[in-house]
Amino acid sequence: MKTRELTAADVDLFERAKDLLQRAHHPELHQVAAAVQTARGSVFLGLHMGSRRINICAESSALANAQMANDTQIVSMVAVCKNEEGRIVVTNPCGFCRELMGTYCQDAEVIVDVRGTPQVVASRDLMPLPWMFPQENDWSVSDPQNPTVSNP
């Protein structure tokens, strides 16, 4: 996976998410904050919403806030959480969020934690093989045990 170092703009986006989490953090209800930057230069924030049985990721509300503002060309995004020492750090998007990113911002860049170092990666690299309906794929082999072309 291709990565790059953070720019000043990436650090600013991280700081926006960090500011939100500093204000809103709750150990069960609000564990993660997210920020998305649009091509117009706007930043939309999102907050993890937790309850006893359900956790809704911060990235989803950040993406929803951009959608509601009709500012939908996301160019970069980040999510942050508190580590074991209570310091706010970059956290990587879960599988659900990676799928959302494939729908709402597949051309965006995402700040991720690469073994303790913040790096920037392409959104599409985080979900290289997304789920799809059988009719959406290019398979032409009906029996993987007997790989003959059945749909020329």
Return residues touching Zn ion (CB under 5 A): 57, 94, 96-97
What amino acid occupies position 71? D
Q: Point out the residue whose Cβ comes nearest to Zn ion.
A: 57
User: Based on CB atoms, which residue is closest to Zn ion, 28 or 140?
Assistant: 28
Q: How far is the CB of 145 from Zn ion (least distance, A)?
A: 36
Rounded to a whole number of angstroms, the minimum distance from the CB of residue 100 to Zn ion is 8
DSSP sequence for 111-138: EEEETTEEEEEEHHHHSSS----GGGS-
Residues 6+ apart with CB under 8 A from 148: 141
CB nearer Zn ion, residue 46 or residue 109 = 46
Distance in Å, CB of 148 to Zn ion, minimum: 41
In terms of Cβ atoms closer than 10 Å to its own Cβ (0-12, 13-18, 19+), residue 34 is buried
Nearer to Zn ion, 26 or 40 (CB): 26
> Closer CB to Zn ion, residue 6 or residue 97?
97
CA atoms of 37 and 43, how far apart (whole Å)? 5
- Of 54, 66, 50, whose CA–CA distance to 13 is shortest? 66
Minimum CB–partner distance for residue 18 and Zn ion (Å)? 18
